[in-house]
Amino acid sequence: MAFAPRLLLPSRCPPPASSPARHGGRTAPELSGPTPRVVVVTSGKGGVGKTTTTANLATSLARLSLSAVAVDADAGLRNLDLLLGLENRVHLTAADVLAGDCRLDQALVRHRALHDLQLLCLSKPRSKLPLAFGSKTLTWVADALRRAANPPAFILIDCPAGVDAGFVTAIAPAEEAVLVTTPDITALRDADRVAGLLECDGIKDIKIIVNRVRPDLVKGEDMMSALDVQEMLGLPLLGVVPEDAEVIRSTNRGVPLVLNDPPTPAGLALEQATWRLVERDAMTAVMVEEQERPKKKAGFFSFFGG
């Protein structure tokens, strides 16, 4: 008896920016919607790869010549500067701008190798954002970036874990959301809760990235597939990122995965997710019948679109 394992196939699977021939000759995706687009990258649960995702999406956008400002919205435990290799260049923050101590352009840290990528940190490590700034802090920052002489194409906000005041501050200016989760029940319960909060705040364009997928465990039915995650959350898929040992090396070097040469599986998946983000595209999960496998019950196998 044949069975139908679950296989993920993208509706349009964009290959990496470094392979224009695989885009039908295109060297960049078609930017959808007015700019700047304000996207919050969130998860609810900590440790699922949200900051890594933000760093790689921002880097991929810059490689595509789409200007991006990556905002670390964690007021006390910032890490985005480390993943971008900019930890020694952050001297001024958004808190300094709002206090009137500097201009916004002075607080923006431009990446030396990627001139279309800039970093803005909400505040300095081990410091707290003054309560007087309130939840509209990043709304003011986003409005200022919109009014700039050369506004960015994207503002990516790296949201802190949890759903407290930091979460409220981070999602306030956002029009779109990327919800990062891993295929385990604790992360999924938090992701489902966050999705509801985002919708209540008026953010309807929500897509999910399923991170740290282990195809071997999915095949053995020891891990949920990306299709299972999509069905549970009821949201479109932006990308599926496989478990990759290179993530730790990349983090420790301060070099985003998408800059690796040769590319890694996770880096390729994040580049593809960036193309979908730019074009407001999504992966489509379909059922694909496979040949008969005797003595094995119906199962599922998830592959990342590529």
Residue 147 has a pLDDT of 96
Residue 144, domain member (yes or no): yes
Residue 15 has a pLDDT of 44
Residue 28 has a pLDDT of 79
Answer yes or no: is 51 a known binding residue.
yes
Answer yes or no: is 25 a known binding residue.
no
Residue 44 has a pLDDT of 87
Residue 126 has a pLDDT of 59
Residue 77 has a pLDDT of 84
Answer yes or no: is 162 a known binding residue.
no
Residue 218 has a pLDDT of 92
- Smallest CA-to-CA distance from 302 within 232, 222, 219 is with 219
Residue identified by tokens 């790869």 is 49
Residue 23, domain member (yes or no): no
Residue 182, domain member (yes or no): yes
Residue 283 has a pLDDT of 82
Residue 69, domain member (yes or no): yes
Residue 253, domain member (yes or no): yes
Residues in Cβ contact with 19 at an 8 Å cutoff, skipping those fewer than 6 apart: none
Residue 133 has a pLDDT of 62
Residue 304 has a pLDDT of 40
- The answer to whether 213 and 242 have CB atoms below 8 angstroms apart is yes
- The answer to whether 185 and 48 have CB atoms below 8 angstroms apart is no
Range of the domain at 62: 37-279
Residue 9, domain member (yes or no): no
Answer yes or no: is 220 a known binding residue.
no
Answer yes or no: is 267 a known binding residue.
no
Burial class (CB in 10 A: 0-12, 13-18, 19+), 204: exposed
Residue 84, domain member (yes or no): yes
Residue 65 has a pLDDT of 95
Q: Which residues of the chain have pLDDT under 70?
A: 1-26, 125-134, 284-306
- Number of structural domains (the chain) is 1
CATH of the domain at 111: 3.40.50.300
Residue 32, domain member (yes or no): no
Distance of CA 9 to the CA centre of its chain: 20
Residues in Cβ contact with 239 at an 8 Å cutoff, skipping those fewer than 6 apart: 209, 210, 269, 270, 272, 273, 276, 283, 304, 305
Answer yes or no: is 50 a known binding residue.
yes
- The answer to whether 58 and 68 have CB atoms below 8 angstroms apart is yes
Residues in Cβ contact with 249 at an 8 Å cutoff, skipping those fewer than 6 apart: none
Answer yes or no: is 139 a known binding residue.
no
Answer yes or no: is 297 a known binding residue.
no
